[in-house]
Structure 1
């Protein structure tokens, strides 16, 4: 990745997302939300702190960093990255506080109705940065870019469904949209936006980290068209929900075609894995493979979730968000943090002094230990949802919280180069979160010459 393509605010996006992850898990451990207890305002706040604050911010931050890699073009309007982050965080906090109005906290009612506005600005800024890169100069013909573009369309639809339900909850929209639109909203969020974007990015990352050949195969094209059909059916269901009509048929068809897209994706990743030239994958790829197990389990639960609802629906949504998407995100976050830190600190020093390898910046055993704890917690929480046991769910959430704290500490250690010997550690380090201050070094930008207290 050329240094000029580094986004200045990627680490800030990651840090904000981790803060929301820790907040949501802390509240879950405290008993806000759990089996058959997702309709209250506090529970909805926890869900959106996790899905919107954690996963959505991590995905947007990652796309702002990797869209230029997918399309081999510089990011459009990079100055919008910070405003997008600030508005996304503000909108998430307003939405979470606004949901408390459902529990009787009246000051939250105007927050609930206004929260879609900063989120619209955040998503609009993100689209203004990403869409020109992914859609221009034939980049959209690449399987990775196509999947991400479809995911961004899902993000727009997700906002419309969420804004409509927020207005309905505050008395400004059709009341039937809440009950009829909620399943569509979840499908658009977990599937139409996050999973499609994760598929697109992971095609590139898996090939990069496994040293596997990249090509636009029939499996990728079949998976994309199935995903596109699922997205179109979900949009049809959303329109029917707005009109207060029955959404069962288009939603069921969306789930079926979405499952087909998921199977094509899994088959393509299996092909990449078998074609890899790296004999021993690193820890990020091993746990990315674990996340695929969660994806398989999610696909298995789709049918009973659609037919029976209840615990099966709760478990399927949780598996998608906390199992498949979060495990993949956490595993790759550590690698990406190491990679960006190496680029900032050591790439200007190549040829001038000895530099470490990217993998030297992290401790793979520590990372593996925390990721195993996360996967165990996610699996146990899923079983607790199926069994409808609140104490079991809170205990599993506590395991996930400890794992998230451990991985956050590891990300901090990477930024501080704690795993390097003093001989390899430069005297002045980049900021932990805020962007570095570039100064010229032999015609290039050195991103590590000025310390920062954060």
Structure 2
């Protein structure tokens, strides 16, 4: 059964990530962060809830779900997904509360232990994914190689982050290199781990959703080789420009690859997730163009480049694809067992594409406004942009709930039972589903 190939905890990963997104945006909109204000305890807590809690948890959950698709092989040790989710969520919470000790809260002990809890979560997921990819014995796939490289960057992200956290806690582990660790940590996180993982998964997903041939040939190999050079230069603490050149070249080659993929599609009108993934690619290009002034001028330009990468490129891509993925998972859970027994809807029927598109448009407008506000150093405009992003995120969360509850389907097409919003449900025939009533 196709349902048995799905990770039962994907919706739980998504739910924790969306909760972190709403918490981070809510606190940010209240003034926890702003132009030039990123180093306080509350600001660091909000940043890490956004990056680790939102983007990190969502990426880990998505990789657990889609790495088996990349390598056409079942996930190794799938039962470890739940322990990894619990440890990852606990680690993010501990780290965020631990950062509050910098503002006088009595929570310094959490700052000591949080990195090790996160290390367990990352190690579990890393072992599951790497073992699955290596066991497939087919690392010629461009997506598989990029995901493995992303896991290497994740290990480096944890190392630099743990050193900084322990140094802030008072341990004499990296006192002389603390200023150098921060940009390294950001580059490895946003440009290494998250971006490379997104590139790796998108090779397969974009081809699937666009009905296009999967990327192959010299260009995907060039993307991987240049990405290896960029990661190696970053780990070798090369001068910023020597890191920027291969990083920008990697992005340029990737965008060329995505343009070719788009032109070779057999789907005449792409769905909403792919239309707004193009906006995400636009933000990737924007943050890449901001790299030279960020290196040369620093300050507001560096803040804008990082914001465009995290909120624009990575978050827009994640939100756009999330709508489609939730629709697909719900369709598999509810309607796949009914194929051949009754008329079933299409996956697209579970989503209100127009409403989702409006929320994604508001999100993208907020991110663009936030990026420009950071360049201008306008705290007021930046807060307005964050409010727009928060409203858009709330709208997309409502859409996810509507998809899970099948609210966009006509009443006659809704089954008597529905899957839980978050928790897993056994993939059984419709006569034996233990799910909640459709009217709930």
Q: Smaller-chain TM-score range?
A: over 0.9
- What residue in structure 2 maps to residue 362 of structure 1? 351
Q: Verify: 1:339 aligned to 2:324, yes or no.
A: no
- What residue in structure 1 maps to residue 213 of structure 2? 213
Q: 2:312 aligns with which of 302, 306, 323?
A: 323
- What residue in structure 1 maps to residue 135 of structure 2? 136
Taking the aligned partners of 1:452 and 1:143, their CA distance within structure 2 comes to 43
Q: Verify: 1:286 aligned to 2:285, yes or no.
A: no
Kindly state the Cα deviation for residue 440 of structure 1 after the two structures are TM-superposed: 5.3
- What residue in structure 2 maps to residue 22 of structure 1? 22
- What residue in structure 1 maps to residue 122 of structure 2? 123
- What residue in structure 1 maps to residue 107 of structure 2? 108
Kindly state the Cα deviation for residue 117 of structure 1 after the two structures are TM-superposed: 1.1
Taking the aligned partners of 1:332 and 1:199, their CA distance within structure 2 comes to 13
Kindly state the Cα deviation for residue 38 of structure 1 after the two structures are TM-superposed: 0.5
- What residue in structure 2 maps to residue 89 of structure 1? 89
- The 8 Å contact of residues 142 and 221 in structure 2, kept in 1 or not, is answered as yes
Q: How does 1:230-379 map to 2 (within 5 A)?
A: 230-237=230-237, 249-379=238-368
- What residue in structure 1 maps to residue 161 of structure 2? 162
Kindly state the Cα deviation for residue 379 of structure 1 after the two structures are TM-superposed: 0.4
- What residue in structure 2 maps to residue 245 of structure 1? none
- The 8 Å contact of residues 236 and 250 in structure 1, kept in 2 or not, is answered as no
- The 8 Å contact of residues 35 and 300 in structure 2, kept in 1 or not, is answered as yes
Residues matched between the structures, number:
438
Kindly state the Cα deviation for residue 36 of structure 1 after the two structures are TM-superposed: 0.3
- The 8 Å contact of residues 215 and 257 in structure 2, kept in 1 or not, is answered as no
Q: Which moved more, 1:249-258 or 1:315-324?
A: 249-258
- The 8 Å contact of residues 4 and 427 in structure 2, kept in 1 or not, is answered as no
Partner SS state of residue 414, structure 2: coil
CA deviation digits over 1:99-151, x for unaligned, max 9?
Answer: 1111122x221111111011011101101211111122323221010011111
- The 8 Å contact of residues 212 and 261 in structure 2, kept in 1 or not, is answered as yes
Q: Which moved more, 1:272-281 or 1:126-135?
A: 126-135
- The 8 Å contact of residues 5 and 74 in structure 2, kept in 1 or not, is answered as yes
Kindly state the Cα deviation for residue 450 of structure 1 after the two structures are TM-superposed: 2.6
Taking the aligned partners of 1:23 and 1:256, their CA distance within structure 2 comes to 36
- What residue in structure 2 maps to residue 390 of structure 1? 379
- What residue in structure 1 maps to residue 41 of structure 2? 41
CA deviation digits over 1:248-277, x for unaligned, max 9?
Answer: x44432222111101110000000000000
Q: Verify: 1:450 aligned to 2:439, yes or no.
A: no
Partner SS state of residue 402, structure 1: helix
CA deviation digits over 1:322-351, x for unaligned, max 9?
Answer: 000000000000000000000011000000
Partner SS state of residue 141, structure 1: coil
Change (3 A) 1:450 1:152: same
- What residue in structure 2 maps to residue 243 of structure 1? none
- What residue in structure 2 maps to residue 225 of structure 1? 225
Taking the aligned partners of 1:197 and 1:384, their CA distance within structure 2 comes to 28
- The 8 Å contact of residues 164 and 177 in structure 1, kept in 2 or not, is answered as no
Kindly state the Cα deviation for residue 439 of structure 1 after the two structures are TM-superposed: 3.7
Taking the aligned partners of 2:188 and 2:125, their CA distance within structure 1 comes to 18
- What residue in structure 1 maps to residue 179 of structure 2? 179
Taking the aligned partners of 1:179 and 1:2, their CA distance within structure 2 comes to 50
- What residue in structure 2 maps to residue 244 of structure 1? none
Could you list the runs of 5+ residues in structure 2 that have no partner in the other structure? none
- The 8 Å contact of residues 169 and 178 in structure 1, kept in 2 or not, is answered as no
- The 8 Å contact of residues 142 and 220 in structure 2, kept in 1 or not, is answered as yes
Could you list the runs of 5+ residues in structure 1 that have no partner in the other structure? 238-248
CA deviation digits over 1:43-102, x for unaligned, max 9?
Answer: 111100100000000000000000100000000101110111111111101111111111
Kindly state the Cα deviation for residue 441 of structure 1 after the two structures are TM-superposed: 6.5
Q: How does 1:74-85 map to 2 (within 5 A)?
A: 74-85=74-85
Taking the aligned partners of 1:437 and 1:284, their CA distance within structure 2 comes to 28
- What residue in structure 2 maps to residue 241 of structure 1? none
Taking the aligned partners of 1:425 and 1:441, their CA distance within structure 2 comes to 12
Taking the aligned partners of 1:135 and 1:252, their CA distance within structure 2 comes to 33
- The 8 Å contact of residues 168 and 177 in structure 1, kept in 2 or not, is answered as no
Kindly state the Cα deviation for residue 215 of structure 1 after the two structures are TM-superposed: 3.5
- The 8 Å contact of residues 438 and 449 in structure 1, kept in 2 or not, is answered as no
Change (3 A) 1:336 1:125: same
- The 8 Å contact of residues 291 and 325 in structure 1, kept in 2 or not, is answered as yes
